[in-house]
Amino acid sequence: MTEITPEIVKQLRDRTGAGVMDCKRALGESKGDVEKAIEILRKKGIDTAGKKASRETKDGLVTSYIHMGGKIGVLLEVNCETDFVARTSDFGNFVKDIAMQIAAASPLHVSREDVPANWIEKEKEIALEQIKGKPPQVAEKIIQGKLDKRYQEICLLEQNFIKDDKHTIKDILTAIIAKTGENIIIRRFVRFELGEK
C-alpha cells in the first residue's frame, strides 16, 4: 500500500475535481493507487470534470506556436465557458502546452471520434493481413489492440503528454477542467511543417 500523502490527495483532486474527503476515502479504498481511486470516484459519480462535459463553451483562446526556428507552426483553438477563465494564467499555460504538444507529437485529430471511417477500415485491413490464420475471436482482440495503438499515435487526447509521459493529454485536460471549474474543449488545430504537403 502506498502512503496517502497530501501530495497524492492533491494530485487526485487536480485530476478529478472531487473534494478532499472524497479523495482520501477513494485513495484509502484503492490502497493509494491514483488510477484506481479515479475509477472509484467515477463509479460513485464524484467526477466533477465528467459532469461539466455537457456545458457549453463559447469563450477561450486561439493561439499560435512557432517551433524550431520557424520550421514548425501550430494554430490552435481551445474553448472554455467564460472570458474570466480564458484570461487566467492556468488556462493560458494549458493552451500553450497543448500547442507545444501538437508541434512535437504531430497528432492528426483531436480525438478518435474525429478519425474518418475510411481510415479505420484501411487500418483494419492492414491488421487483418498481418494476422491471417488466427481464430476470429483472437483476431478481433489483436485488431482492436493495433487500432488502439494507432489512436494513441494520431489522436491528441490519447497521446502521452510530452512534459510528463505518465499522463495523457486527456488527463491534463481533465485536471484543468477540475481546477477551473469550467468545461474546456480542445476544438481544432492545424500543424504546419516546412516543406510538407
Q: Which three cell numbers stand for residue 49?
A: 470534470
Decide: helix, strand or coil at residue 190: strand
Q: What percent of the chain is predicted at pLDDT more than 70? A: 92
The reported pLDDT for the residue numbered 67 is: 87
Residue predicted with more confidence, 46 or 3: 3
pLDDT at 185 > cutoff 60: yes
| 22 and 42 part of one domain | yes
| 76 and 161 part of one domain | yes
| 175 and 90 part of one domain | yes
Confidence of residue 139 (pLDDT cuts 50, 70, 90): confident
Interval 50-101: pLDDT, tens: 555 666 778 999 999 998 789 999 999 999 999 999 999 999 999 999 999 9
Half-sphere CA count of 141, side-chain side, radius 13 A: 4
Mean pLDDT of 129-144: 81
Residue 33 lies in a domain: yes
Confidence of residue 155 (pLDDT cuts 50, 70, 90): very high
> How many structural domains does the chain have?
3
| 88 and 166 part of one domain | yes
Interval 175-184: pLDDT, tens: 998 888 889 9
Confirm if 7 and 1 have CB atoms less than 8 A apart: no
141 burial type by CB count under 10 A (0-12 exposed, 13-18 middle, 19+ buried): exposed
Q: What are phi and psi of 177, to 5 degrees?
A: -65, -45
pLDDT at 196 > cutoff 70: yes
Residue 54 lies in a domain: no
Interval 5-50: pLDDT, tens: 888 888 887 777 677 778 888 888 888 888 888 888 777 665 555 5
Q: Give the CATH number of the domain where residue 10 resides.
A: 1.10.8.10
Domain of 132 in residue numbering reads as: 116-154
Residue 34 lies in a domain: yes
The reported pLDDT for the residue numbered 130 is: 82
